[in-house]
C-alpha cells in the first residue's frame, strides 16, 4: 500500500470513531430523555466546544491561553446585548460576537504570542483580568455585576429551541460539526505545520513555516470556538453575570484540556465531560465535595501522564479490533 | 486633585501591599527554580498561615508570637506532606501535570479549611500597637504592622540571598535551577531539594499570611487571588529571580494603590495588569529576566 493510501485509510478510520460517537450522542436522549441529564449534557457540550478550541491552540500548537473564558464572555455578552438591549436577531448577535472576538483575539494575540511559556500564560491571564473588570464596570453595556437577563431563545426558520431536548440537539450538532472541522484541520497541511510548531518552533521555521502567522491564526480560530460556546451558553441560561467568565473559568478550561489529554481529538470531550459531570456527581458528598474534587484531579494527574484520552488510547491499543480501526 | 500627603500615603500603602506580593512571589520562585512548576497552591499557603494563626490565638488562646511561629511550622509541614503525597509519586514527572496537581491540591486545602475552620472572615490584632499609633513620616501614616511587613520582606530576601550564596543546600538549589541534569550528575539529591523547596515555599507563604492578616482579614477563599497576584509579581520581576520578585511585588502594589487612588478603584486591577502587559510586551522575560528564554 502506498504512503498516500495509508494516510487516506487512517483518516477514514479516525472518522469511523467519530461517527460511532455521534450516533451514541444523538440517540441516547430518545431512549432516556431525563431533563437533568440533558441539562448537564448541554453544559458538557458547550465546555467541549471551548476546550476543543483551546486544545487546538494548547494541545496541538503548544501555545497556552489562560484567558479563554474572556472570549466565552465576549460571545455571551454580544449575544445578550444585541438581543436584549437592541432587540436584534439572535443569529446576528452570534455573528457579531464572533467578529468582535476575532478582533480582540487578533489585537491581544499580535503582541502576546511573541511571549513563551509562563510569560504567555501571564499575558493572557492579565488580558482576562482586564476584561473581567470591564465586564463588571461597563454597566451600560454589560449590566455590571447583575449581568443581563431575559435573553431570548434561539430559533431557526420558525423552529424554536426553547426546550432542553431541542437545545441539546442544537448544541451537539454544532459540537459535532466543529469537532469534525478540527479533525480535518489537524490532518491538513496547516495541521502538520501546527504540530511541527509544537515540537520545535525553530525547526518549523527552518522548514519554511511562518510560525508567528500560524500561531496567530490558531489563536483567533480557538477564540472563535470559545465565542460560539459563549453565545450558546447565553441563549441557554438566559441570564449571564460576569462570574461565569472569570479567571477561575479560564483556569478550568485549561484543566479540562490537560485532564482530557492534550493534542488528542477525544481529549477535550473527555476533559469537559469529567469537569462538568464530576461536580454534579460530587454534590452527594455535600461539604466534602471540594476535597473529593481536588483529590480526583490529583489522582488523574499522578497516574495518567497523558490525560484520560492517553490512558484510554493505551487500553484500546491492547484490543486488536480497536487498534486497527479507531486509534490514530 | 490629590495632596502631596495623600500621594505619599498611596505610595506607602502600595509598598506595604507590594511587600506581601513580593513574599508570595519568592515562594513561587523557590518551587519554580527546583521544578519549573508554578504552584497554584501558593496562595493557599498564605491563607493557611493566616487561618491557623487565628485558630491558635483565638481558640487555643496561645500568645500571638507563639501562634505565628506554630502556624508557620504547621504550614511548612503541609507543604512537605503535599510534595510527598502529590508531586513525589508521579511516575514520569511532567511540569503540566504537576501544575494541575497543584490546582487540585489547592482545592483540597480550601475545602479542608472551610470544613475545619468555617466560612467566616477572621483576623487577629497587629503584632505591636493596636492600630491607633502609626508612625508619621512626612505627613503620611504607616501602620505599625506595615513596618513589620516591609521589615520581614527585607529580612527574608537578605536571609535567602545568604542561604543561596553560602549554604550547601542553597548552592544545590541554584545548580538545579541552572541545569538539572548536570546538578544530578554532580551528586545533588534532586528529590530532596525539591522537597526542601516546597517546605521553604510553604513557610514563606505562611509568613506572608501571618503578616497580612491583621490589616486585611482572612477567610478560607482568599488564597486564589493572593496567589495570582504573587504569580504576577514573580513574572513581572522575571521568573526565578528573587530581587526581581521584590521589585515586581512592590511595583504591582504601587500600581494598584496609585491606580485605585488616582484614577478609579473599580479599575485598579485593570490598570495594574495593563501596565504588566505593556512591561511584558517591551521586555518579554520580565524586568530582570535572563536572556535565555527557552531550551529546545
How many domains does the structure of chain A reveal?
1
Q: Does B276 contact A at CB distance below 8 Å?
A: yes
pLDDT of residue A60: 87
Find the CB nearest B110 among A118, A247, A290. Answer: A290
List b or e across A104-130, with b for residues whose CB sees 16 or more CB atoms inside 10 angstroms.
Answer: bbeebbeebbebbbbbbbbbbbbbbbb
In this prediction, the answer to ipTM > 0.90 reads no
pLDDT for residue B113 = 92
- CA A140 from centre of chain: 29
C-alpha cell at B292: 535565555
| Short-list B29, B79, B33, CA closest to B198 | B79
Domains of chain B, earliest start first:
4-282 (1.10.3470)
Q: Is A131 exposed, middle or buried (0-12, 13-18, 19+ CB in 10 A)?
A: buried
Contact A125 B228 (CB under 8 A): yes
pLDDT for residue A119: 87
Direct distance between the N- and C-terminal alpha carbons of chain A, in angstroms, rounded to an integer: 17
Q: Say yes or no to pLDDT of B21 above 90.
A: yes
What are the residues whose beta carbons fall under 8 Å from the beta carbon of A72, sequence distance 6 or more?
Answer: A50, A226, A227, A229, A230, A233, A244, A245, A249
C-alpha cell at A216: 496567530
pLDDT of residue A6: 58
Structural domain span for residue A72 = 3-325
Chain B residues in contact with A112 (beta carbon < 8 A):
280-281
Q: Which three cell numbers stand for residue A264?
A: 488528542
Hey, which bits of chain B come out as E strands? 135-137, 140-142
The pLDDT tens digits for B209-257 are: 999 988 888 888 888 889 989 999 998 888 878 888 889 999 999 998 9
* Per-residue pLDDT, B138: 67
The pLDDT score that the predictor gives to residue B1 is 62
**Contact indicator for A279, A289 with CB cutoff of 8 Å:** yes
Decide if B292 touches A, using CB distance below 8 A.
no
Q: Which residues of A are less than 8 Å from B106 in CB distance?
A: 294
Question: Which residues in chain A land under pLDDT 70?
Answer: 1-15, 320-328
Whether the Cβ atoms of residue A52 and residue A268 lie closer than 8 Å to each other? yes
How far apart, in Å, are the Cα atoms of B51 and each of A296, B57, B82, B152? 25, 10, 18, 19
Q: Are B240 and B24 in contact (CB under 8 A)?
A: no
Q: How far is A98 from chain B (nearest CA, A)?
A: 24
- Distance from the Cα of B127 to chain A's closest Cα (Å) equals 33
Question: What pLDDT score was predicted for residue A223?
Answer: 95
| Whether A133 contacts chain B with CB within 8 A | yes
DSSP string, B222-271: -HHHHHHHHHHHHHHH-TT-HHHHHHHHHHHHHHHHHIIIII-STTHHHH
pTM for this predicted structure: 0.86
Q: What is the pLDDT of residue A322?
A: 61
Q: Pick from B83, B100, B234, B268 the residue to mutate for testing the A interface (most A CBs within 10 Å).
A: B100
pLDDT value of position A328: 46
CATH label of the domain that carries residue A84: 1.10.3470
Test B267 with A137 for CB contact under 8 angstroms.
yes
Residue B211 or residue B142, greater confidence: B211
Listed residue (B30, B38, B64, B32) closest to B50, CA to CA: B64
* Cα separations in angstroms, B33 against A123, B30, B178, B240: 21, 5, 8, 6
For A246, phi and psi rounded to 5 degrees? -85, 175
Q: Flag if A126 and B273 touch (Cβ within 8 Å).
A: yes
CA-nearest residue of chain B to A306?
A: B97
Average pLDDT value over all residues in chain B: 86
Q: Do A122 and B232 touch (CB under 8 A)?
A: yes
Region B4-26 average pLDDT: 89
Amino acid at each position: 500500500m502506498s504512503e498516500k493510501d495509508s494516510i487516506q485509510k487512517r483518516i477514514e478510520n479516525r472518522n469511523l470513531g467519530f461517527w460511532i460517537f455521534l450516533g451514541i450522542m444523538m440517540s441516547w436522549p430518545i431512549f432516556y430523555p431525563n431533563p437533568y441529564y440533558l441539562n448537564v449534557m448541554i453544559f458538557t457540550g458547550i465546555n467541549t466546544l471551548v476546550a476543543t478550541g483551546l486544545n487546538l491552540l494548547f494541545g496541538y500548537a503548544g501555545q497556552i491561553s489562560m484567558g479563554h473564558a474572556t472570549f466565552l464572555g465576549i460571545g455571551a455578552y454580544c449575544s445578550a446585548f444585541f438581543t436584549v438591549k437592541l432587540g436584534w436577531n439572535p443569529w446576528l448577535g452570534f455573528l457579531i460576537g464572533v467578529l468582535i472576538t476575532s478582533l480582540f483575539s487578533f489585537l491581544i494575540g499580535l503582541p502576546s504570542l511573541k511571549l513563551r511559556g509562563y510569560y504567555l500564560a501571564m499575558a493572557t491571564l492579565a488580558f482576562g483580568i482586564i476584561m473581567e473588570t470591564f465586564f463588571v464596570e461597563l454597566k451600560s453595556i454589560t449590566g455590571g455585576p447583575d449581568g443581563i437577563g431575559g435573553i431570548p431563545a434561539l430559533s431557526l426558520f420558525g423552529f424554536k429551541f426553547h426546550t432542553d431536548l431541542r437545545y441539546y440537539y442544537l448544541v451537539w450538532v454544532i459540537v459535532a460539526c466543529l469537532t469534525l472541522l478540527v479533525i480535518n484541520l489537524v490532518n491538513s497541511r496547516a495541521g502538520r505545520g501546527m504540530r511541527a510548531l509544537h515540537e520545535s518552533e525553530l525547526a518549523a521555521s527552518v522548514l519554511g513555516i511562518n510560525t508567528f502567522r500560524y500561531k496567530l491564526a490558531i489563536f483567533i480560530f480557538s477564540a472563535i470556538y470559545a465565542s460560539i460556546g459563549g453565545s450558546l451558553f447565553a441563549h441557554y441560561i438566559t441570564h449571564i453575570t460576569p462570574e461565569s467568565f472569570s479567571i477561575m473559568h479560564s483556569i478550568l478550561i485549561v484543566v479540562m484540556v490537560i485532564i482530557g489529554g492534550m493534542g488528542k481529538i477525544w481529549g477535550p470531550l473527555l476533559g469537559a465531560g469529567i469537569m462538568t459531570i464530576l461536580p454534579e456527581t460530587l454534590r452527594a458528598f455535600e461539604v466534602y465535595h471540594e476535597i473529593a474534587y481536588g483529590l480526583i484531579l490529583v489522582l488523574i494527574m499522578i497516574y495518567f501522564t497523558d490525560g484520560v484520552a492517553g490512558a484510554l488510547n493505551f487500553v484500546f491499543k491492547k484490543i486488536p479490533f480497536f487498534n486497527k480501526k479507531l486509534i490514530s | 486633585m490629590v495632596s502631596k500627603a495623600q500621594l505619599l500615603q498611596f505610595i506607602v500603602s502600595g509598598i506595604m501591599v507590594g511587600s506581601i506580593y513580593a513574599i508570595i512571589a519568592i515562594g513561587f520562585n523557590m518551587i519554580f527554580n527546583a521544578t519549573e512548576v508554578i504552584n497554584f497552591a501558593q496562595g493557599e499557603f498564605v491563607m493557611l498561615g493566616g487561618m491557623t494563626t487565628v485558630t491558635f490565638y483565638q481558640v487555643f488562646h496561645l500568645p500571638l508570637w507563639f501562634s505565628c511561629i506554630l502556624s508557620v511550622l504547621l504550614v511548612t509541614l503541609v507543604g512537605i506532606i503535599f510534595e510527598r503525597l502529590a508531586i513525589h509519586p508521579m511516575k514520569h514527572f511532567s511540569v503540566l501535570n504537576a501544575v494541575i496537581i497543584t490546582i487540585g491540591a489547592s482545592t483540597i486545602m480550601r475545602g479542608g479549611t472551610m470544613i475545619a475552620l468555617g466560612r467566616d472572615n477572621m483576623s487577629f490584632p497587629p503584632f505591636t500597637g493596636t492600630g491607633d499609633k502609626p508612625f508619621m513620616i512626612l505627613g503620611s501614616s504607616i501602620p505599625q504592622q506595615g513596618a513589620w511587613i516591609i521589615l520581614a520582606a527585607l529580612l527574608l530576601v537578605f536571609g535567602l540571598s545568604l542561604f543561596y550564596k553560602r549554604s550547601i543546600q542553597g548552592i544545590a538549589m541554584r545548580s538545579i535551577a541552572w541545569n538539572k541534569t548536570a546538578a544530578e550528575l554532580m551528586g545533588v539529591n534532586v528529590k530532596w531539594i525539591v522537597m526542601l523547596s516546597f517546605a521553604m515555599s510553604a513557610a514563606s507563604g505562611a509568613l506572608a499570611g501571618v503578616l497580612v492578616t491583621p490589616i486585611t482579614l482572612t477567610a478560607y477563599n482568599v488564597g486564589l487571588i493572593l496567589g495570582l497576584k504573587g504569580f504576577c509579581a514573580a513574572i513581572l520581576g522575571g521568573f526565578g529571580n528573587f530581587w526581581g520578585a521584590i521589585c515586581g511585588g512592590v511595583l504591582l502594589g504601587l500600581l494598584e494603590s496609585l491606580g485605585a487612588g488616582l484614577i478609579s478603584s473599580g479599575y485598579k486591577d485593570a490598570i495594574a495588569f495593563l501596565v504588566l502587559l505593556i512591561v511584558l510586551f517591551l521586555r518579554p522575560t520580565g524586568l530582570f529576566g535572563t536572556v535565555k528564554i527557552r531550551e529546545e
